[in-house]
Structure 1
Amino acid sequence: MLPKVHMLALLTIGCLLCTCQVQAQSAGRQYSLGFYQPVSDSTNYHSSLRDYMVQPVFALPDDTTKKRSWFHRKLFREHLLEFSGEDYEFYASFLPDLQVGHTNRNGTTWLNTRGVVAGGKIGDNLTFYTEFYENQGKFPKYVDEFGRANHVVPGQGEWKDYSNGKAFDFAYASALVDYRAGKHFNFQLGYDKNFIGDGYRSMLLSDVPFNYPFFKIVANVGRIQYTTMWAQFIDMRYPKASYDNGYRKKWGVFNYLDWNVSKKFSAGLFGGVIWQDSDSLGKRGFDMSYINPIIFLRPVEFSVGSSDNAILGLNLKYAVSRNSAVYGQFLLDEFKLSEFTKGTGWWGNKFSGQLGFRSNNLFKVANLNGLTEVNAARPFTYSQRTSLNNYGHYNQPLADPLGANFVEWVNIVDYRYKRWFLRGEVMYAHYGLDTANTNYGKDIFKSYYTRTQDFDNKIGNGLGTNLLYLQGTLAFLLNPKYNLRLETSVIARRESNDLGRTSELIFQVGLRSTFRQLYYDF
């Protein structure tokens, strides 16, 4: 399924141009491979649940002994506004993301983003932040085609026409409030993203799609961390119930139990249910049956007489050394053992998985990090009877951006030297696309009732397609507080199948900031 593996391995070693790497001692947003330390002693450290309240900490040379001007400090060391007192902290900064580039398929590309961030702490237990972005941009052709087909900018919500239909105009915001109740409980109320896993992708719950509202409870007791989250998602595909109600809504509840079995090994058990919100007749809505944070979801889903979309998953990690870890995931959507043992490729056996390896300080070189992982999903995994019950939000999957009916191999290397950052990525994928009036299970927003066949379903069915994605970026960090940097990148993307081959070469330079994780490698 993955031909020319040896060639891709060489490309991985050779492709060492990059965005930013950051280092931190606790979980947070993944902006570099070195951000998560796969320490061998993980007794009280849970790396698989990403905490978006934690901001990355850059380790830069200390020059505080030198007297610096206000302008120098604000440009290179501090937020634009910083206030602190005995029991409070506050910061705010302007977040530019200004890029210009060129692609052989869409001519000149550009991005004009003006953002602001504000956050702080009140007392010892209450932390908060909020961000807002106003954007206009003309994207590479493959991103532009995705946006026009799905009516969203990847990970950033809905757009409207700009520059006579040649570009997109879009805006979005995020916010999170975290309250720590003693040493055992955290309560989070947010409009943001979530991620479960130790890899670059997540087959359980990822930060690929747009923001959504959620309420989360995290409990830490000894070596166990238990999380329950309730969230509301948007379905843009299903017809609106009424103009006043806007897009159709759906609800999700997720439980995740992470157990550090030993100093080296951790295991996480994941469960979730997606169900549709009320329709024009006022049916359903938020189901109080799912309000209990410690209940087993599958029996509840069955007891309410519904066929909601219930999923189960497993996350595993083993630290082979202080700086290296093997990790994996398995998600079960639907399964029938009798059909599986027959080997008939029954459409209803829907599952996905991940296997990866990551290491920091490769070859004993400080700040040189690497990751390689394989992800795969059988046809129709994450799909449902309608898009109102599928595992998606704002026309993007809640797991891997490739949806289902795919296998991919992702390789990333990054390196930091003082304020210089390098990052390289090689991604190869094989998947099956649909042609006219067919459904081979890649598009999770299509109803599985429209499937082309019941049996002989395997990865690559349909229009077998290969995708090769290469990216290299070089960046110079200006201000570590909000990741202000000068950046240049080169992207090569090639998609090929029996109908032809499409290649795109993209060059970009810009002044960038923020710690957003946006995925364009699809």
Structure 2
Amino acid sequence: MNQRFTEFFRFSFIILISVSYVQAQSSFIPLNDDYYHLIDRLEIKRGKFTEGFHSTVKPFERKAVVALTDSILKEGTMQLTDRDWETIDYIREDSWEWTKNMIATDSVRYNKLGRLRWFKSPPPGKKRKFWEHPADLYSIHNKDLDLHFNFVTNNFFGKDNNTSSSLWFTGRGVEIRGMINEKLGFYTFVSDNQGLFPKFVRDFAPQYTFPGEGLAKVSPSNSSVDFLTARGYITFRPLKSINVKFGHDHNVFGSGYRSLILSDNSSPYLFLRLDTQLGRFKYTNLWTSMLNNDGRSWKDGLRGKKFAAIHHLSVNITDKLNFGVFEAEVFNRDSVGGGYDLNYLNPIIFYRYVESYIGSQDNALLGTDFRWLVGKKGSIYGQFVLDEFLTKYLFNGSKSWTNKYSLQLGGKYVDAFGIPNLDLQAEYNLVRPYTYSHKDGGRNYAHYGQSLAHPLGANFKELIGILRYKATSRLSAYGTLMLAKQGKDPDASTNYGGDILKGYETRIGAADQTFQHRIGDGILANTVFTDLRLTYSLAHNLFLDGRYLIRNVNSPSPQFAQKTNVFSFAIRYNVAYRQQTF
């Protein structure tokens, strides 16, 4: 099967590459909550959806985001604050290769506000070798090659009351993106990282891993962590309306701080993605190869494989209302070295039919999402995921374990209460016990031991509040409050439905179909998480972060109860802030 898939993939890839009519192709903006909120804010204040991308499908193409700013400048009807004009400037400078048709008009105020440059522009008639553009250390831009090269670094030091030694972290690497012959886009990012993180972060991910990353080595002497971050892909358009992307990275479906469909919580994975956009419709196919936590030691040997086939249809019903449906299938044919089931390569078929057709018991999920722009002041969004259910139990209030579903409802409010540049967000997430898990644990909705959806897994309720305030051109304030109630397992052999890596056949009350499973069953843990951050921009994508974090977990069990106070100071360049909200 593995050989069949390899030959099929090679044939398909050659066919796609050989298509004569290939369009100019943009790379994508890396996932970054701070950055993507700026885009979201502009779309909300514009009061209608962007033509070039659907905001529920991430990441976004750089070309499409610049096109959004083009539309804003051309229309000239939005009520923008000075900070908004600076945001437009920042976004356009960050993807300057797509601004060659920049609109020249006196109404473009952002040119007068001044860019956040590292140093002054060169004298007239002279060209700088490095940092010719503030967004790039080095760049080339012509019809044969568009190249953007940057170094990246992330460094912090701080203190955790649960750790005797001072916290520290250093990460350094490179980021390269661009196009070849204005047709083939590419992106690569690699960073070598070492550090001592707060205890709750070290305890969160499974052994030999790190939250949001893959393999990690832990020093037995001081608990510091050593891991490598790497992402990379190529992308091209065989047809005007179809984009193809292949590589290792994250993909996200949703409009919220969390995603219950597919998030960037786990480490990057290998994928082939097709985006077809026709007017108001965007159809995304995603075929992935992932690694399975099968209970073996992860230190040596080839790790077990698992695969997923996902498709998502997003429809802009109006200029303000978006509705989407999705289906995912997770399967695993062999524990090690298994191949992809060719039946799931059909891009326009109902996967649940395929599952029954081939007689498999793969893990199927169905769901919907929506987003509604409200009065140029806010947006309301939500998701619903149905993992498994029996009708006779779903509607009779029995709290059966088969009622496996998750629900999200949230909203954003920009320029809140008439205060310019103050943005608020509130979000509620609920995930029933055993959602995202599977009978044998080998086809759970996880990759490299970490959830593909919410970091808490299942068996929880969560309320999140976020405040964002851009006080000056350079200074921004962020506040995140998370309140979570979750049921925990007392030991590795007990399963109350919160750990999605465990097979649901090991559940509590497995012999009794009428046994009631409620959110919070097991050892109850109530978490109050507060993250306060001030960020100062020294130059384009160069930031100083001051952070104060309070995390209190109240539980009757000492193994879960914990009080955490963390203070840290960081400097980062061309890399996103690590949220670690769990």
Q: Would you say same fold, with TM above 0.5?
A: yes
Cα distance in 2 for residues equivalent to 1:320 and 1:28: 27
**Counterpart position of 1:303:** 357
Contact 1:487/1:509 (CA < 8 Å) preserved in 2? Answer: yes
Aligned residues: 491
Cα distance in 2 for residues equivalent to 1:188 and 1:450: 39
The more displaced of 67-76 and 197-206 is 67-76
1:34 counterpart = 2:86 = no
**Counterpart position of 2:332:** 276
Per-residue CA distance 1:263-287 (angstroms, 9 max, x = gap) = 111100000100014246x7x6200
Per-residue CA distance 1:368-403 (angstroms, 9 max, x = gap) = 222100001000000012232000011110000000
Cα distance in 2 for residues equivalent to 1:509 and 1:470: 16
Contact 2:459/2:520 (CA < 8 Å) preserved in 1? Answer: yes
Per-residue CA distance 1:121-152 (angstroms, 9 max, x = gap) = 223332221000101110101112224x4321
Q: 1:419 to 1:124 in 2, by over 3 A?
A: same
**Counterpart position of 1:84:** 141
Query: 1:75 offset after TM fit, Å?
Result: 11
| Larger fraction in helix | 2
1:166 counterpart = 2:223 = yes
Q: 1:159 to 1:28 in 2, by over 3 A?
A: closer
Cα distance in 2 for residues equivalent to 1:350 and 1:340: 9
1:393 counterpart = 2:447 = yes
Cα distance in 2 for residues equivalent to 1:504 and 1:71: 48
**Counterpart position of 1:494:** 552
Unaligned 5+ runs, structure 2: 1-27, 67-86, 91-112
| Structure 2 counterpart SS, 1:383 | coil
Larger of the two Rg values belongs to structure: 2
- Which residue type is aligned with residue 62 of structure 1? G
Cα distance in 1 for residues equivalent to 2:549 and 2:299: 42
The more displaced of 433-442 and 193-202 is 433-442
Cα distance in 2 for residues equivalent to 1:310 and 1:182: 31
- Which residue type is aligned with residue 378 of structure 1? R
Q: 1:157 to 1:518 in 2, by over 3 A?
A: farther
Cα distance in 2 for residues equivalent to 1:27 and 1:119: 10
Percent identical: 32
Query: 1:68 offset after TM fit, Å?
Result: 4.2
**Which of 102, 114, 124 is the equivalent residue of 1:62?**
114
Cα distance in 2 for residues equivalent to 1:359 and 1:241: 44
1:339 counterpart = 2:397 = no
**Which of 218, 221, 229 is the equivalent residue of 2:275?**
218
1:50 counterpart = 2:90 = no
**Counterpart position of 1:356:** 410
Cα distance in 1 for residues equivalent to 2:130 and 2:220: 37
Contact 1:253/1:272 (CA < 8 Å) preserved in 2? Answer: yes
Per-residue CA distance 1:18-75 (angstroms, 9 max, x = gap) = xxxxxxxx98634223332335322734110012553988435335996448999749
Cα distance in 2 for residues equivalent to 1:142 and 1:172: 21
**Which of 506, 518, 542 is the equivalent residue of 1:458?**
518
Cα distance in 1 for residues equivalent to 2:133 and 2:168: 25
**Counterpart position of 1:508:** 568
| Structure 2 counterpart SS, 1:293 | coil
**Counterpart position of 1:14:** none
Unaligned 5+ runs, structure 1: 1-25
**Which of 429, 435, 438 is the equivalent residue of 2:494?**
438
**Which of 308, 313, 321 is the equivalent residue of 2:367?**
313
**Which of 484, 494, 506 is the equivalent residue of 1:429?**
484
**Which of 240, 263, 267 is the equivalent residue of 1:206?**
263
Query: 1:86 offset after TM fit, Å?
Result: 3.3
Q: What are the residue-to-residue correspondences of 1:91-106 with 2, within 5 Å?
A: 91-106=148-163
Cα distance in 2 for residues equivalent to 1:376 and 1:126: 41
**Counterpart position of 1:230:** 287
1:325 counterpart = 2:379 = yes
- Which residue type is aligned with residue 531 of structure 2? Q
Contact 1:105/1:504 (CA < 8 Å) preserved in 2? Answer: yes
Query: 1:257 offset after TM fit, Å?
Result: 0.3
Cα distance in 1 for residues equivalent to 2:483 and 2:388: 27
The more displaced of 340-349 and 120-129 is 120-129
Q: 1:241 to 1:473 in 2, by over 3 A?
A: closer
| Structure 2 counterpart SS, 1:152 | coil
Query: 1:317 offset after TM fit, Å?
Result: 1.1
- Which residue type is aligned with residue 183 of structure 2? N
- Which residue type is aligned with residue 374 of structure 1? Y
Q: 1:287 to 1:49 in 2, by over 3 A?
A: same
Cα distance in 1 for residues equivalent to 2:280 and 2:61: 21
Contact 1:136/1:162 (CA < 8 Å) preserved in 2? Answer: no
Q: 1:242 to 1:141 in 2, by over 3 A?
A: closer
**Counterpart position of 1:368:** 422
1:123 counterpart = 2:181 = yes
TM-score where L is the length of structure 1: 0.88
- Which residue type is aligned with residue 164 of structure 1? S
Contact 2:212/2:267 (CA < 8 Å) preserved in 1? Answer: yes
**Counterpart position of 2:306:** 250
Contact 1:208/1:518 (CA < 8 Å) preserved in 2? Answer: no
Q: 1:456 to 1:138 in 2, by over 3 A?
A: same
Alpha-carbon RMSD across the aligned residues, in angstroms, is 2.6
Q: What are the residue-to-residue correspondences of 1:178-189 with 2, within 5 Å?
A: 178-189=235-246
Q: 1:116 to 1:150 in 2, by over 3 A?
A: same
Q: What are the residue-to-residue correspondences of 1:473-492 with 2, within 5 Å?
A: 473-480=533-540, 483-492=541-550
Contact 1:154/1:518 (CA < 8 Å) preserved in 2? Answer: no
Cα distance in 2 for residues equivalent to 1:261 and 1:277: 39
Contact 1:154/1:519 (CA < 8 Å) preserved in 2? Answer: no
1:470 counterpart = 2:530 = yes
| Structure 2 counterpart SS, 1:289 | helix
Contact 1:29/1:517 (CA < 8 Å) preserved in 2? Answer: no
The more displaced of 48-57 and 330-339 is 48-57
Per-residue CA distance 1:136-179 (angstroms, 9 max, x = gap) = 110101112224x4321100112113373421111121012221
TM-score where L is the length of structure 2: 0.79
Query: 1:321 offset after TM fit, Å?
Result: 1.8
| Structure 2 counterpart SS, 1:290 | helix
Query: 1:519 offset after TM fit, Å?
Result: 4.1
Q: 1:242 to 1:104 in 2, by over 3 A?
A: closer
The more displaced of 150-159 and 294-303 is 150-159
| Structure 2 counterpart SS, 1:421 | strand
Contact 1:203/1:331 (CA < 8 Å) preserved in 2? Answer: yes
| Structure 1 counterpart SS, 2:395 | helix
Cα distance in 2 for residues equivalent to 1:75 and 1:372: 41
Query: 1:517 offset after TM fit, Å?
Result: 6.3
Cα distance in 2 for residues equivalent to 1:75 and 1:102: 38
- Which residue type is aligned with residue 463 of structure 1? I
Cα distance in 2 for residues equivalent to 1:163 and 1:427: 32
